[in-house]
A and B are shown apart, each in its own frame.
Chain A
Amino acid sequence: MPDTALPPDGWIGRPMPRAATRRLIEGRGRYTDDNAAKGELHAAFLRSPFPHAAFRITGCDAARALPGVRAVLTAEDLAPFCRSWRTQSLAFPGLVSPEQGPLARDRAVYQGEPVALVLAASRAVAEDALELVGVEWNELPAVTDVAHALDAGTPPVHQGLSSNLAWRTEFGEGDVEAAFAKAALVVEERFTFTRHTGVPLEARSVLATYDPAAEALEVRMSHQIPHQMQVHLAELLDLPMGRVRVIAGDVGGGFGIKMHVYPDEVAVCAASRLTGRPVRYVCDRIEALMADIHAREHVVQARMAVDAEGRILAFDVDDIQGLGAYSIYPRSSTVEAMSVLRTVGAPYHFSAYRARLRCALQNKVPTGQYRSVGHPIGCATTERLVDLAAAARGEDPLEFRRRNFLPEAMMPWTNPAGGRMAELSHTATLAEFERLLDLPKLRAEVAAMRAEGRCVGLGFSAVVEYTASGPAAYGRAGVPVAAMDTVVVTLEPTGDVVARASVAEIGQGIQQGIVQVVADAVGVPPSRVTIHTGDTANAPHGGGAWASRGAAIGGEAAWGAGRKLQAEILKTAAALLQSTPDALDVRDGQVVDAKGTPRMSLAELASTVFFRGHELPGGVQPQFTATHQFRREEDLFLTTNGLQASLVEVDPDTGLVTPLRHWVVGDCGRLLNPLLVDEQVRGGVVQGIGEALLEACRYDPGNGQFLTGTLADYLLPMADNAPDVTVGHVETPYSGSALGAKGAGEAGTCGAPAAVLNAVNDALGSRGARISELPVTPTVILRALGTLEAAE
């Protein structure tokens, strides 16, 4: 059992701003593109203008002749410096995803795929040179529509494939047919989820510096998992791991977009190796929208069986995922679809489940893990069916949920979808939710607005998220992903503590959480703790930022390291004070006795050890650097739960939906820092509202051309169309760890689309319109109302 002695009145759980944001508000952030290297070259990519084409590069001489151009590189040029790769996973045997390299060779299979690279003295000159590269394009039939990608007769996405099926599976437990046969009520819906993408405000960027004399590569990049990139760059460029250093300084948002291995970033590293010069590359926004991973393109046919008492019996779900031209490297795009299908039904008790999945290749950029991977689709599917069932039964949607929530007494329980539910607090969360919303008053307000003729709706969603993935999640799949973390803490001669951690700061505030944990574990105020993250030369290997893992996994590593350091401090102080470690404690930077009386400051102790070691008793060898590496042995995931509500107004004339208010109550275990958790929730909710109402990566249905390449076409939530978000908490610490933290960063995004979809349907219900498509654009609304003709 872990050491769970959290100090009373400690720093853990206090709302504190992240100290390092002081730099950011003064314009002193150092994001990747804020670093220039002496002698650097600027890269620009020639990208395929077609979704599918054969090509031949016919001439680079004109481009090379342009003053300021240093090199024009193709796949052949980079091949000697860089291996190719192929996405594979033991979890998805037979997954079809062809070999990929840093630049396409002979054929481009998605629009935006990099085919050549120019290195020049400035980005502008590099872009000028792109226009002089001669390319013969032979456009080929492109597959973009997921609904038809698997039809017989649809052309293949890659040459030589007999079908566009990348992978398929069926799973589930229980007798689904029998459940539907005996059901008193069956509700069914076909859902369409359009692709969208993460749009971190800082685009992906990389500055690679290869030193030919040292045979070492240093890469500054905007990435969520520097240690993962170290592994892959070492392998792809055939360098010892110790000679690859990856540094992610300040990162301008990630959301899953920056956790993959992208061909262009690998190409920049290979180009630095080839030229022996630093190479800098920053995606422009058009490139980012077109060639960052997309996510969540699914067509889901789902039905739910309910008995005469209104209890859920079974779910039957068929999902076609549009995964793009390749399964994303290294984790695979299929993970998202499996996450969708594991999330269906998750808050509830049911006894039978059947899921069918087909993952379709398309001539589109690969999809990948994006904030709350797959969960929003599974959640929207479930919560819409639940609302349909409640409506069919003529009952309150929250009452239907209350009856069907998985009872606390049944947990831990593995549901028929294979999801293990543990330590969820549906009852307490619902009670807090009803208190926070003041439902009778809110319902009266909605009625009053309707009486004024306003078309408003209130929608709910119940959320269960799988967070903080354990080692088996990717480990069993044979994908090299660290689900553990390392934290190193050091007592400095001044009594200050420095922590180095393998977690990554991408704005979510994990640095501050770790500082508070270390402060409590050692016994110093947070102002005496400095943290360093994001540099492989600084912290040993670990997982970085994904799956809402920082507090639950990095936090445990920090606690363990801090306790080891405190033990060492006590041992050394006891030797100097002729006491015993048990009779002493460390509080607020002082070694204190049992009565709390200060005996010696950490500064005195540390300066003695570091500067006057001759004063130490014989045999005392203080170890004032402590390392802890933590992996969770139990529980593949940590499940979290919550409830959300959305109040929206629909303009039936224009079809515009305005989100008016949003509420969230969540249980993410122990809150290391409620201020920062609340803002994770709010930001996540608004991202989910974008998904519900605005965001879509669209392609021309005729020629497959990408249509949403600017922020005027790809719409995002802005300050004037985002609502205030009220946040509440229930705190059920995870029993299997010292701190009890679970994942918090993605739950907002998980539940918001479902709540908004239900709210829109609540608003339109009285007009007989029903919507099952995201995003709910004005066109979707007007078609549902019959004012616009349906699409063919």
Chain B
Amino acid sequence: MELPDESTADIACILNGEPIRARVPLRQNLVDWLRHGVGLTGSHVGCEHGVCGACHVQVDGVVVRGCLMLAVQADRATVETIEGATSSGRIRALQDAFFNRAALQCGFCTPGMLLQAAELLAKNSDPTREEIRQALSGNYCRCTGYHAIVDAVQAAAASLRA
């Protein structure tokens, strides 16, 4: 909703492959806009201070923390969320591996974790467990203890190399 006293700005960006225009409050962060302004609720909010990685989205090809970036900063950017990454099929191998390996329990961390893992695999097609753990060290997961996540990323990397 637009409120009389709320300062806003108009932005235009490519969101999950589609052009979109929106009027956003200046102080609204990117993940809140995606979730509540656009209705893409696959990105989550876990801390709003840049520690947990639940809010990860990709902006201009780089995974960023959606809680540390303002929506207005996405003006003229290309933004991809878990919904876009799913429908494009680019993270399918990781998603299958997470499912089969039970590398998620409550699933709240999973979208952010998947985007971060995909960024790793794009750079390193055969990461060691240690490298996977380093790459995911900014994504908090309370449920799994990470072991199964590391297994799943390794399995996805193997299937992509095959």
Contact = CB atoms under 8 A, between A and B. Distances in A.
Interface of A: 17-18, 21-31, 33-34, 36, 66-68, 121-122, 124-125, 198-203, 250-253, 255, 282, 284-285, 506-509, 675-676, 679-680, 682-687, 710-712, 716-722, 724-725, 748
Nearest to B81: A27
Given A25-B104, A122-B3, A202 B46 contact: yes
B52 interface: yes
Contacts of B114: 25
| Secondary structure class of chain B's binding surface, majority of residues | loop
A675 B82 CA distance: 26
B2 to A, nearest CB: 9
Contact of A34 (B3, B41, B49): B41
Contacts of A687: 142, 145
B1 A122 contact: yes
Given A201-B54, A255-B142, A719-B136, A710 B109 contact: no
Count chain A CB atoms within 10 A of each CB in B28, B45, B146, B149 and give the residue with the most: B146
Closest 9 CB pairs of A and B: A27-B42, A24-B107, A507-B106, A686-B145, A252-B108, A27-B82, A507-B105, A720-B137, A711-B51
A711 B148 contact: no
A27 B86 contact: yes
B37 to A, nearest CB: 11
25 contacts: A24-B106, A25-B95, A25-B107, A26-B95, A27-B111, A29-B41, A31-B44, A31-B108, A68-B4, A121-B1, A124-B27, A201-B46, A201-B109, A201-B142, A201-B143, A250-B106, A253-B105, A679-B105, A682-B148, A683-B105, A683-B144, A717-B145, A718-B146, A719-B137, A722-B133
Contacts, number: 193
Contacts of A251: 106
Contacts of B58: none
Given A25-B104, A25-B114, A683 B1 contact: no
Contacts of A722: 133, 145-147
Nearest to B1: A121
A22 B99 CA distance: 7
Contact of A17 (B44, B102, B109, B141): B102
B38 interface: no
A302 B146 CA distance: 35
A282 B114 CA distance: 24
Nearest to A681: B145
A711 B49 contact: yes
B98 A682 contact: no
B107 A29 contact: yes
A285 B47 contact: yes
Contacts of B138: 718
A107 to B, nearest CB: 30
A527 to B, nearest CB: 15
Contact of A252 (B3, B107, B129): B107
B148 A21 contact: no
Contact of B44 (A252, A508, A679, A680): A252
Interface string B96-124: 00111110111111110010000000000
Contacts of B102: 17-18, 21, 509, 675-676, 679
B60 interface: no
Count chain A CB atoms within 10 A of each CB in B4, B95, B134, B149 and give the residue with the most: B95
A143 to B, nearest CB: 30
A203 B41 CA distance: 15
A716 B138 CA distance: 11
Given A27-B83, A717-B145, A725-B145, A508 B105 contact: yes
Nearest to B46: A201
Contacts of B106: 24, 200-202, 250-253, 506-507
Interface size classification for chain B: 35 or more
Given A201-B109, A506-B106, A25 B49 contact: no
Interface of B: 1, 3-6, 25, 27-28, 35-36, 40-49, 51-52, 54, 81-83, 86, 95, 98-102, 104-111, 114, 129, 132-134, 136-150
Contacts of B104: 21, 24-25, 507
B85 to A, nearest CB: 8
B4 to A, nearest CB: 5
Contacts of B1: 121-122
A686 B145 CA distance: 5
A712 B50 CA distance: 9
B5 A67 contact: yes
A716 B142 contact: yes
Given A17-B101, A25-B95, A202-B46, 19 more contacts: A25-B98, A25-B110, A26-B86, A33-B45, A67-B5, A200-B142, A201-B54, A253-B142, A284-B48, A676-B102, A679-B102, A680-B105, A682-B147, A682-B148, A711-B47, A712-B49, A718-B136, A718-B138, A719-B136
B36 A36 contact: yes
Contacts of A724: 129, 147, 150
Contacts of B41: 27, 29-31, 33-34
B3 A67 contact: yes
Nearest to A724: B147
A202 B105 CA distance: 12
Contacts of A31: 41, 44, 108
Given A27-B86, A712-B51, A683 B99 contact: no
A711 B140 contact: yes
A72 to B, nearest CB: 17
B108 A29 contact: yes
B50 to A, nearest CB: 9
A716 B44 CA distance: 19
Contacts of A30: 41
Given A24-B104, A29-B107, A507-B106, A683 B143 contact: yes
A65 to B, nearest CB: 11
Given A27-B42, A68-B5, A716 B140 contact: yes
Contacts of A199: 142
B141 A201 contact: yes
A24 B105 CA distance: 9
Contacts of A33: 35, 41, 45
Contact of B48 (A125, A285, A680, A719): A285
Nearest to A28: B42
B98 to A, nearest CB: 5
A687 B110 CA distance: 18
Nearest to B136: A719
B53 to A, nearest CB: 9
B148 to A, nearest CB: 6
A118 to B, nearest CB: 14
Contacts of B54: 201
B49 A68 contact: no
A722 B129 CA distance: 12
A686 B142 CA distance: 8
Given A21-B102, A679-B102, A710 B49 contact: yes
A25 B40 CA distance: 14
Contacts of B86: 26-27
Contacts of B142: 198-201, 253, 255, 683, 687, 716
A720 B107 CA distance: 20
A201 B44 contact: yes
A201 B108 contact: yes
A336 B109 CA distance: 29
A747 to B, nearest CB: 13
A121 B4 CA distance: 11
Contacts of A725: 145, 147
B113 to A, nearest CB: 9
A67 B2 CA distance: 11
A24 B110 contact: yes
A648 to B, nearest CB: 16
Contacts of B147: 682, 686, 722, 724-725
Contacts of B5: 66-68
A33 B45 CA distance: 10
A27 B145 contact: no
A202 B108 contact: yes
